[in-house]
Amino acid sequence: MPLTTGDPLPSWNEGPAKEAILAYIARITNAESPDFLPSPERIAVFDNDGTLWPEHPLPFQAAFAIDELSSRIPREPHLAADPMVQAALAGDLAKLLEGPRYEGLLQILALTHAGMSVDAFRRTVEAWLVSARHPRFDRPYDALTYLPMQELLRYLQANNFKNFIVSGGGVDFMRVWVERVYGIPPEQVVGSTARTTFELGAAGPVLTKTLDYLFVNDKGGKPVGIHQFIGRRPTLCCGNSDGDHEMLQYTTINNPRPSFGLLVHHTDPEREYAYAAKSTSTGKLVEALAAAPSRGWCVVDMKEDWNRVFEVD
Amino acid sequence: MPLTTGDPLPSWNEGPAKEAILAYIARITNAESPDFLPSPERIAVFDNDGTLWPEHPLPFQAAFAIDELSSRIPREPHLAADPMVQAALAGDLAKLLEGPRYEGLLQILALTHAGMSVDAFRRTVEAWLVSARHPRFDRPYDALTYLPMQELLRYLQANNFKNFIVSGGGVDFMRVWVERVYGIPPEQVVGSTARTTFELGAAGPVLTKTLDYLFVNDKGGKPVGIHQFIGRRPTLCCGNSDGDHEMLQYTTINNPRPSFGLLVHHTDPEREYAYAAKSTSTGKLVEALAAAPSRGWCVVDMKEDWNRVFEVD
């Protein structure tokens, strides 16, 4: 039986999404059921941006990079003359993504995510989380996680799931705060990575961030990252966009274990945002959402299914 | 206090190595001590070949590759004409390691560790473990783990350490059997990796092994792999060779947390092997062993410190 008392998901309205989650957990924790899932196989993977916290008006890591560039310009005025820095400060993502190899974005990453020790990078992210505020909600970014998803994380953990973040975001960026914010330890984060270099300096060991061997943990890269870091197939997967489509497929299609796929649909412009019903480029319904009915994935209608969005609404 | 009753390390003789291990665990589990280590920081990393099981006459994964080639030659006779396959079958490691990029070794890896699905590779390794026997001990390879190190793994786990394998071996090779053999789940294995490719085929999702973006998790690569996969500094590290030197440095030098380094020294030609006292190429004491006294690393003298080596001696 599920290992909780009372309603484990109080921020979820009664309805098909909540029912589907509770029914799945009841099924796989019932030792008498043929669908019983042994604890080591209870691997849950969560996208982060748009699934556990918002991704508008920009992914929060992009906001970090922009704030970081802004704060450095007084000390490093040459940055202001760089057209890619100008594009970043103007929020011109299209310009940064021009070219087949996204040179603009890589240049911004090189300026803000490489060339420093992992410890120095950690301190920079920590300082940013303390000082920065989300432009619309006027709160620290890490105070903006979705309360219903936090409840789901805790409910799964109480039922012996091991929760992993599987995000396109940089793993070093996320590991700074995931343990405090989600109760997920750093070693349970799969994200975009590049190699560090190791050196034993006079003050001790130093790992320095580079952009070498960049691995982008998105779309088809997510199952690849899951295999590389976790090494077994998840049984529960939560996402919100086409970046999560392949990991939803990997989790649920022809999985010999009983599995569960979930998509957060952003339908609430009042409390959060409304988007992704249609892809802006093709006008089609986002592929993963379009596939949900035939795949049996649970679509969470944020406006209908959640009675609260944030810890403090 | 340490969370065990009785002697947690019965295969270890009384002596400085056993004393040092017990003293470290007593110190970091004592909530009254300034050296108390909170459970999430109890990260232990273990080399595998030569530290948890033997690496002679060949690393066991090399024995797997050779056996795999031998078994395929009747069906794929062209393999027998390949000079690198011939070198592998003759155990001529020097030839495989010729050239700046180890083309011979890469060719053997391409034949035995790439081009198949991760599921097919897993089945091949499982079948090999059932059929193959170690040439000297005449037992399945996975029956040859060191009993004293198994006791140490269990003792650490009982004291809330999270144990990770950090090996130069291939992660896909190790993940097949680590849970059964060491009680370590697949997601706690850091090893050499290459990327897979993801495809949704008619029968479901398929991950195919390649040699692209090969990462060799050895020497300076071990701290890099630890950072990439675990994301925090270990506090306990066990190795046996210069391949482990950098991860011992990373674990113990100027670590703000109380840390422990251990080297298994192969001194027992009767029950196991005697080697590594001196590097064969330079005639010097192996660097990591030579550094042990000044670094305070615990050197385990297999002959003196272990009253049993294997489960069945």
Query: Which among A36, A18, A1 has a CA at the least distance from the CA of A258?
Result: A36
Taking the whole predicted model, whether its pTM rises above 0.90 is answered as yes
**Nearest-by-Cβ selection for B205 from A187, A195, A250:** A250
In the prediction, which pLDDT does A281 show? 60
Positive or negative: CA dihedral A240, A189, A84, A97:
negative
Residue-wise pLDDT tens digits, B30-87: 999 999 999 999 999 999 999 999 999 999 999 999 999 999 999 999 999 999 999 9
pLDDT of res. A216 = 94
B189, B46 contact by CB (below 8 A): no
pLDDT of amino acid B313:
63
User: Which H, E and C letters describe A86-115, residue by residue?
Assistant: HHHHCCCHHHHCCCCCCHHHHHHHHHHHCC
Q: Decide if B227 and A207 are in contact by the 8 Å CB cutoff.
A: yes
Rounded to the nearest angstrom, the minimum Cα separation between A22 and chain B is 26
- Beta-bridged to residue A300, according to DSSP, are A264
Q: Name every chain B residue with its beta carbon within 8 A of the beta carbon of A171.
A: 228, 231
Nearest Cα residue in chain B from A250: B205
pLDDT of residue B100: 84
B253:A200 CB<8 A? yes
State the complex-level ipTM: 0.94
Partner-chain contact B207 A227, CB within 8 Å: yes
pLDDT of residue B5: 66
Distance CA B226, CA B46 (A): 11
**What average pLDDT does range B263-286 have in this prediction?**
82
Nearest by CB to residue B187, choosing from A195, A230, A253, is A230
Contact: A171, B203; criterion CB under 8 Å: no
* Distance (Å) from the alpha carbon of A273 to chain B's nearest alpha carbon: 32
What confidence tens digit (pLDDT) does each residue in B202-224 have? 999 999 999 999 999 999 999 99
Confidence of residue B4 (pLDDT cuts 50, 70, 90): low
Provide the phi-psi class of B120: left if phi over 0, else alpha when psi is between -120 and 50, else beta: alpha
- Residue A207: which of B164, B223, B255 has the nearest Cβ? B223
CB atoms A197 and B231 under 8 Å? no
With contact defined as beta carbons under 8 Å apart, do B162 and B184 qualify?
no
Q: What is the pLDDT of residue B23?
A: 98
**Averaged pLDDT, B267-282:** 80
pLDDT confidence of residue A278: 62
Contacts of B179 in chain A (CB under 8 A): 40
Of B186, B227, B253, the CB nearest to A204: B253
Task: Choose among A186, A231, A250: nearest Cβ to B187.
Answer: A231
Amino acid found at B241: S
Phi, psi of B190 (to 5 degrees): -110, 125
Q: Helix, strand or coil for residue B136?
A: coil
Query: Which positions of chain A have pLDDT values less than 70?
Result: 1-5, 277-284, 313
- Chain A closest CA to B118's CA: distance in Å? 9
* Distance between B196 CA and the closest CA of chain A, angstroms: 6
pLDDT of residue A1: 56
Which string of DSSP letters, residue by residue, matches chain A?
A: --S--S-S-TTBPSSHHHHHHHHHHHHHT-TTSTT---GGG-EEEE--BTTTB---SS-HHHHHHHHHHHHHTTT-GGGGG-HHHHHHHTT-HHHHT-STT-HHHHHHHHHHHSSSBHHHHHHHHHHHHHH---TTT-S-GGG--BHHHHHHHHHHHHTTPEEEEEEEEEHHHHHTTHHHHHS--GGGEEEEB--EEEEEETTEEEEEE--TT-B--STTHHHHHHHHHT-S--SEEEE-SGGGHHHHHHHHTT-SS--EEEEEE-B-TTTS-B--SB-TTT-SBPHHHHHHHHHTPEEEEHHHHBS-SBS--
